[in-house]
Each structure stands twice: as structure tokens, then as C-alpha cells.
């Protein structure tokens, strides 16, 4: 093709990119299922469910109002009404992003002869038709006028039969039926249960690393233009634009330490617990040049460091009575999100090699009650374009003011901000916002004036290194640093409460002091970690631990690691790989993974004294490039995961890669080409917006 990719290939990639959402236990309102202290009285759901006792009673009332005389049909209809309580109800009631009035009824077809012709077989959709087709039903949920509406009963209260609404079983099942596969689920009349893997899950034999840089960085963000470039930042406030070498090329990271992309050190307060904590580039950065920095500042050293104190009367906290770390005054230190631009340095922001350190707009400022636990990571979600801001509980031992559970406080929360729709100054003041942003209307607490509309999730101690799965944006994974006992990784969902400080991981936490009061155990429905570890398990000598979140590995460079979540620990220098089983269940098993350095690494890896392991030192964070390769940012340098064979690790899938010319996924053959689709698809999306218009996506 002489360097030109065909339109058909681009379209194939585009479809793969757009159809990347897989099922996950989520309720109709996108919240996570919860566990009730008591079981439902009407619907057959125990344990995890999407209904409380009030909703259960409402479903029973709706069922009784249908006046179904036939017992068999009544039983079927009850199961359908109760499907809204299923942990997978979000998936059951949504087809191609459109809400349904009833769950997708399983409707399968199978080949019946050598010519592969298909015929209908007995399935749940057929069962519903055969059982209820001639049974009179009041307020039937299957009235054609209700297609596309979410839940509820028809406004037509006339008693009807299915045969009066639909001409045949075929028409009925075409309207309400569907199949279950790797990317969706359908309803069979009973609570959804995903099948466990038939073959045992074998973790990778080891991760092979190559060292490509000697610098020490805190954050890495792939360039939004889809090229082999990435931004690196350090805690002091400098950002560099680097070119990433091809894997196996023998070259190193092209980064000029003396020539940063932008230098914010005059604004950033740097200390052990302070500094520039995050950076994010607008999804449309290649055109608008907008990027954002999250950092800490000191009011005594920078006049631009000013804002409301997070400890105030709204959360029953008097800042004048707070004793802070390091002898500082409450709210002397602030956490800031500021907007900058690469416009002005070039006519095309995607080509900019520098940016102005002058702040364009202050997005967010909040004074800190203590000198620790202020998170600070920011990132854009791929599917909604909003900015997510990870905030710790504000510090001190045991969150004494219980900020993390207080919905009037922004401490110990994950926030979701709209930075593209900036209200006027008067509106900002009226709404009580902390800066120049608006809050999305579907934020979980946006309709309650007594709560903070910015909050997306709560109950976190100090989230550090969160990420969205590149192929399933509903998978939002966050590592949350523990107190004295447990480090955790949480699967973040809308309105989710992750327990701190009622819980530390899965363990009850007993605070030593509580001037801010306590939250009762019965008043919350905590979402427990999907993985984690005890401090004693990783550092038996010192007991120190601090989890570092990573990424779901979506590169084909190491096919035996594909689909696994990679994370580590700051002090222990350990790395884990977690595997979901069943797929799309949210249930993970995790294994500590050995790792070594390739003999042909561009930069020789020093060994840990008394061991052959690479001396990573402290693991600060992980990074991901546009090809979905994963990087480790450590105190001793920058490392990249490379093919296992370079370290003599066995991986049968890598042999298949060599034979086929591309890496097959352990779970789906279509994923082998998704790496290239992601890369070229990003370029395609930038330069071919007219195709999006043709498909109605813009």
C-alpha cells in the first residue's frame, strides 16, 4: 500500500474502537450493585442486587396490577419485572446505547443441517411467547409503544394478550430478543451467572523489562495525537516531551532534560508529600492545545496560591483548631488544577515542542487541612470527555474528621468535572463551586443541594494511579493507599462508597480519635476491593507498603500478559498481575509476578544486591503509550515491558505471534489487531472527521 492504509481497514478499526464496551455488573443508573443487610421479599435476588426493599415492593405492586390469572405466565412475568434488580441490569436493559423497557430476552438460533441454515430453538424468549401469548395481561410491558423506554409500565391500561400486540413469535423475539456472548448478556428468567473459565488461569511466567531512560519521573501521558511520543513530568513541576523508541530497536528515550516542554516550578510547592501530582491533555489537544496540571502550592510563597479552605463550617470543622504536620497552618497548602496552552508556540498544537507556563484559567483550588493525603491525579475518561480528579482524605492518621465519608466535603473523593462548559463568575459563586468548571448533570449527587455535586465516588483514603481500561472504559480501576494494614485496588463506579474510614480494605477500621464524628456501619453499603494485599505480605521486615496502581495490559508485545491488570508497590519493588474470571464479572485473582531485565536492554539494568532482579528502587507510577505498552516509572529510571522471550520466559502465545505475524489474544482473536487499530484509529479520527459525520457519531 506504500504507506497508505485502505479506507476499509480504517473503517474496521473504527468499528472496533467504538464497539469496545463489555458487560460489567452495573445497575440501570450506572451505579454498582450493593449487598443488603436483609434479603428482598419479592424478587429472587440475594447478596448483590440493584434493588432496595422499597424498589422490591414497587415491583411487587406493579406485578399485582398486571392481574395475570395463569400461574405459569405469572411466574415468567415476575422474573422479567425483577430483572431490574439483577447486578447486570444496566447491560440487560441497554442495546447499542438505547434503553429498553424490558430486559433483552435470550433468543438463540443454531445450525440444523450441513447447509448451516438456522431455525428457532426453545429459549427464554420463545418460552415467554409460548407461555403468555394468549394470557390476558393488564399494563403489559411488551406493548410496542414502549419500545425504547427505560422501565416502567405502559400508559395504556387496557388488558391485552401478546397475540394482540405482535403478529408472531418471530416478530416478538425480534423486538425483545438477543443473544449472550463475550460482550453482552441476555436474560434467561433467572439471575445472571457468568461461567467460570473451563481451563485453569495460569499467570505469566514473568515480565521482561528493558530500561530506556535514566531519569526519575512521577507521571507519563501518551501524546493525544496518537504518535510514538509521550509527556513525562517530575514532582518538582517540569514537563518534558519525549520520543519513545521502538521496542527492540536498541535505542533509548529521546528526552532533553535541559529543554522542558513547560516549567511550572515557580508555582509548585515541592516536598516529600507535595509537588506536581498529575497532568492531563485535553482529548482535542492536537487542535486546541489545552492541557492541565494538578499540583500543590504554598500560600506563604506564591501569591497565586489562594482558595477556600477544605475544612469549614459546612463539614463541622474549625480550621483554627487544627494541628497540622510540619508546623504549617491549616490551608497554608492548596491543591490546584490549572489550565495551560500550547497555542502561540506553533500554528498546530500537535506539533508544539513547548508551552507557556502562564496559567490560562484556574480550574480548581482547595486548601488542605493537613500536609498529606491529597492524591492529585487527573485524567480524562475516553467515553465521556470529562475530567476526573482523585483527592485524598486530607491527611493525618485515620482521617480524624471523617472527611472521606462526608458528602459535603471533597476530601477522600473522586470528582468528575466538565471543563468545557465554564459558567459565569456569578454562577460559580451561586453554585458554590471551587473554580471554573461545571458539574455534569448525571453526577450521582448533582440533584441534591445538600451534597457536593462534583463527587463521583467517595470513601477513599489516598487514591494514587487510577486508569481506564483501554478496551472497556467502564472498568475504572484505582489503587488506594492504606493506613497500617491493607493496600487495595477498587473498581470505581458512579456513586460508589469504598468504605474508608469505616473500613481499611476489607477490614473494619477503628480510629484512635474522632473529633469529626463517626459513620455507622449500617449507614453505608461499601464496595470492597477487587484486589489488594496486607503490609506484612510485601515487606515483612519493615511493614511499609504503598500501593501503586497501573493499567490493564492491552498491548500485544507480551501476549501472555494481555488483559491482566498490572500494579506494584512503592517500597517493596514488587509487581502483581491480576486476572478477571469470569470475563466481565469484576472478580479478580492476583499473583505476584517475577520480572527480570533483557540482556540486550538499551541501558543496562543494575541488579538488586544479592539478587538477579533489576534494581527498580522505588516504583513511583506506571505509564501507557499509544500502542498500549506499559512503562514503569521508578527512582532508578524508565522501564518498559517487552516480549517475554527476551528474558527467556516461556510464553506459548508468543510463538503463535511469530508464526502468524501478530499476537493473538488469550480471550478473543479480534484483539490481535486492536493494537494497530488503536494506533491508526487515533490518527484516522483526527484527520477524517467527515467519516464520523457520515456515521452519525458527531
Could you identify the residue written with the cell 489488594? Answer: 532
Closest CA to 500 of 579, 406, 566, 577: 406
Say whether 672 sits in a helix, a strand or coil: helix
**Domains of the chain as residue ranges with CATH:** 33-178 (no CATH), 207-672 (2.120.10.30)
Distances in whole angstroms, Cα of residue 173 to Cα of each of 110, 128, 202: 15, 9, 40
What is the pLDDT at residue 442?
Answer: 95
C-alpha span between 127 and 188 (Å, rounded): 10
**DSSP per-residue codes, 539-583:** -TTT----EEEEEE---SSSTTTTT-EEEEETTT--EEEEEESST
User: Residue 123: CB partners within 8 Å, gap ≥ 6?
Assistant: 105, 106, 107, 108, 177, 188
Mean pLDDT of 16-22: 41
Run of H or E including 292: strand 290-298
Q: Residue 294 is placed in which grid cell?
A: 494538578
Rounded to an integer, what distance in angstroms lies between the CA atom of residue 386 and that of residue 468?
A: 13
* Residue-level pLDDT at 573: 86
Greatest mean pLDDT among 20-34, 36-50, 324-338, 341-355 lies in: 36-50
Q: Cα–Cα distance between 357 and 339 in angstroms, integer?
A: 10
pLDDT of residue 554: 97
In angstroms, rounded to a whole number, what is the distance separating the alpha carbons of residues 179 and 27?
20
- Find out whether 588 and 185 touch, Cβ atoms under 8 Å: no
Asked whether the predicted pLDDT for residue 332 surpasses 50, the reply is yes
Closest by CA to 582, choosing from 597, 600, 563, is: 563
Distance CA 243, CA 251 (A): 11
Going by the DSSP 8-state scheme, the letter that residue 523 receives in this structure is: G
pLDDT for res 450: 80
Distant-in-sequence, close-in-space partners of 624: CB < 8 Å, separation ≥ 6: 220, 222, 467, 470, 551, 630, 631
Residue 446 to residue 428: CA distance in whole angstroms: 15
CA nearest to 625, candidates 114, 220, 23, 238: 220
Residue 339: beta bridge partners? 292, 361
Q: Which helix (H) or strand (E) holds 177?
A: strand 177-178
Question: Cα separation of 464 and 195, whole Å?
Answer: 33
Residue 152's pLDDT band, with cuts at 50, 70 and 90, is: very low
State the pLDDT at residue 420.
97
- State the pLDDT at residue 693: 33
Kindly state the average pLDDT of the residues 34-61.
Answer: 92
Nearest residue to 120 via CA among 166, 83, 170, 86: 170
Percent over 90 (pLDDT), the chain: 68
Q: How many helices (H) and strands (E) does the chain have?
A: 13, 38
Question: Could you report the per-residue pLDDT of 193-224, keeping only the tens digit for each?
Answer: 887 776 777 889 999 999 999 999 999 999 99
The overall average pLDDT reported for the chain is 86
CA distance 454 to 390: 11
Higher pLDDT, residue 632 or 664: 632
Instruction: Kindly state the percentage of the chain with pLDDT values over 70.
Output: 84
User: Phi-psi bin for 67: left (phi > 0), alpha (psi -120 to 50), beta?
Assistant: left
User: What pLDDT does residue 389 have?
Assistant: 98
Amino acid at each position: 500500500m506504500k504507506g497508505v492504509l485502505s479506507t476499509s481497514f480504517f473503517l474496521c478499526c473504527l468499528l472496533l474502537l467504538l464497539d469496545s464496551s463489555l458487560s460489567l455488573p452495573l445497575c440501570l443508573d450506572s451505579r454498582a450493585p450493593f449487598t443488603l443487610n436483609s434479603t428482598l421479599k419479592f424478587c429472587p435476588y440475594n447478596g448483590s442486587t440493584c434493588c432496595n426493599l422499597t424498589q422490591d415492593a414497587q415491583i411487587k405492586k406493579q406485578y399485582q396490577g398486571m392481574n395475570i390469572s395463569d400461574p405459569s405466565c405469572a411466574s415468567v412475568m415476575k422474573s422479567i419485572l425483577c430483572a431490574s434488580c439483577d447486578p447486570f441490569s444496566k447491560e440487560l436493559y441497554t442495546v447499542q446505547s438505547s434503553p429498553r423497557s424490558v430486559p433483552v430476552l435470550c433468543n438463540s438460533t443454531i445450525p440444523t443441517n450441513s447447509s448451516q441454515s438456522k431455525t428457532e430453538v426453545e429459549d427464554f424468549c420463545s418460552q415467554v411467547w409460548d407461555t403468555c401469548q394468549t394470557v390476558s395481561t393488564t399494563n403489559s410491558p411488551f406493548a410496542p409503544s414502549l419500545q425504547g423506554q427505560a422501565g416502567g409500565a405502559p400508559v395504556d391500561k387496557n388488558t391485552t394478550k401478546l397475540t394482540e400486540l405482535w403478529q408472531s413469535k418471530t416478530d416478538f423475539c425480534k423486538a425483545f430478543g438477543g443473544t449472550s456472548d463475550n460482550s453482552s448478556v441476555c436474560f434467561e428468567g433467572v439471575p445472571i451467572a457468568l461461567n467460570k473459565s473451563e481451563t485453569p488461569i495460569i499467570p505469566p511466567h514473568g515480565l521482561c523489562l528493558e530500561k530506556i531512560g535514566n531519569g526519575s519521573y512521577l507521571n507519563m501521558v501518551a501524546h493525544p495525537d496518537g504518535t510514538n511520543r509521550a509527556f513525562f513530568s517530575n514532582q518538582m513541576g517540569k514537563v518534558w516531551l519525549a520520543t519513545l523508541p521502538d521496542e527492540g530497536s536498541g535505542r533509548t528515550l529521546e528526552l532533553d532534560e535541559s529543554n522542558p516542554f513547560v516549567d511550572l516550578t515557580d508555582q509548585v510547592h515541592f516536598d516529600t508529600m507535595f509537588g506536581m501530582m498529575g497532568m492531563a491533555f485535553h482529548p482535542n489537544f492536537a487542535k486546541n492545545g489545552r492541557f492541565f496540571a494538578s499540583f500543590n502550592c504554598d500560600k506563604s510563597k506564591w501569591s497565586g496560591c489562594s482558595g477556600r479552605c477544605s475544612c469549614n463550617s459546612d463539614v463541622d470543622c474549625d480550621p483554627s483548631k487544627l494541628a497540622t504536620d510540619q508546623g504549617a497552618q491549616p490551608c497554608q497548602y492548596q491543591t490546584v488544577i490549572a489550565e495551560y496552552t500550547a497555542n502561540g508556540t506553533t500554528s498546530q498544537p500537535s506539533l508544539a515542542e513547548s508551552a507557556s507556563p502562564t496559567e490560562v484559567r484556574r480550574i480548581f483550588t482547595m486548601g488542605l487541612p493537613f500536609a498529606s493525603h491529597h492524591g492529585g491525579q487527573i485524567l480524562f475518561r475516553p467515553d465521556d470527555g470529562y475530567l476526573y480528579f482523585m483527592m485524598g482524605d486530607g491527611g493525618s492518621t485515620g482521617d480524624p474528621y471523617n472527611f472521606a465519608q462526608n458528602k459535603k466535603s471533597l476530601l477522600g473523593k473522586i470528582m468528575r468535572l466538565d471543563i468545557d462548559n465554564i459558567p459565569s463568575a456569578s454562577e460559580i459563586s451561586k453554585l458554590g463551586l471551587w473554580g471554573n468548571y461545571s458539574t455534569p448533570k448525571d453526577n450521582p449527587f448533582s440533584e441534591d443541594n445538600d451534597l457536593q455535586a462534583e463527587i463521583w465516588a467517595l470513601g477513599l483514603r489516598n487514591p494514587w494511579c487510577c486508569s481506564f481500561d483501554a478496551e472497556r472504559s467502564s472498568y475504572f480501576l484505582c489503587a488506594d493507599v492504606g493506613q497500617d494494614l491493607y493496600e487495595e485496588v477498587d473498581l470505581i463506579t458512579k456513586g460508589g462508597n469504598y468504605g474508608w474510614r469505616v473500613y481499611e480494605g476489607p477490614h473494619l477500621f477503628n480510629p484512635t480519635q474522632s473529633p469529626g464524628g463517626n459513620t455507622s456501619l449500617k449507614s453505608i453499603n461499601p464496595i470492597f476491593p477487587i484486589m489488594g494485599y496486607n503490609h506484612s505480605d510485601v515487606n515483612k521486615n519493615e511493614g511499609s507498603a504503598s500501593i501503586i496502581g497501573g493499567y490493564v495490559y492491552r498491548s500485544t508485545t507480551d501476549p501472555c500478559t494481555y488483559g491482566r491488570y498490572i500494579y506494584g508497590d512503592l517500597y517493596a519493588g514488587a509487581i502483581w498481575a491480576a486476572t478477571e474470571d469470569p470475563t466481565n464479572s469484576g472478580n479478580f485473582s492476583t499473583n505476584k509476578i517475577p520480572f527480570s531485565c533483557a540482556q540486550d536492554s538499551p541501558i543496562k539494568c543494575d541488579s538488586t544486591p544479592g539478587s538477579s532482579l533489576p534494581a527498580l528502587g522505588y516504583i513511583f507510577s506506571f505509564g501507557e503509550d499509544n500502542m498500549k505498552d506499559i512503562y514503569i516509572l521508578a527512582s532508578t529510571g524508565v522501564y518498559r515491558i517487552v516480549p517475554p522471550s527476551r528474558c527467556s520466559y516461556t510464553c506459548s502465545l508468543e510463538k503463535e505471534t511469530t508464526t502468524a505475524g501478530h499476537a493473538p489474544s488469550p480471550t478473543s482473536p479480534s484483539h490481535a489487531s486492536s493494537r494497530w487499530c488503536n494506533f491508526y484509529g487515533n490518527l484516522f479520527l483526527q484527520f477524517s472527521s467527515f467519516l464520523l459525520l457520515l456515521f452519525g457519531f458527531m
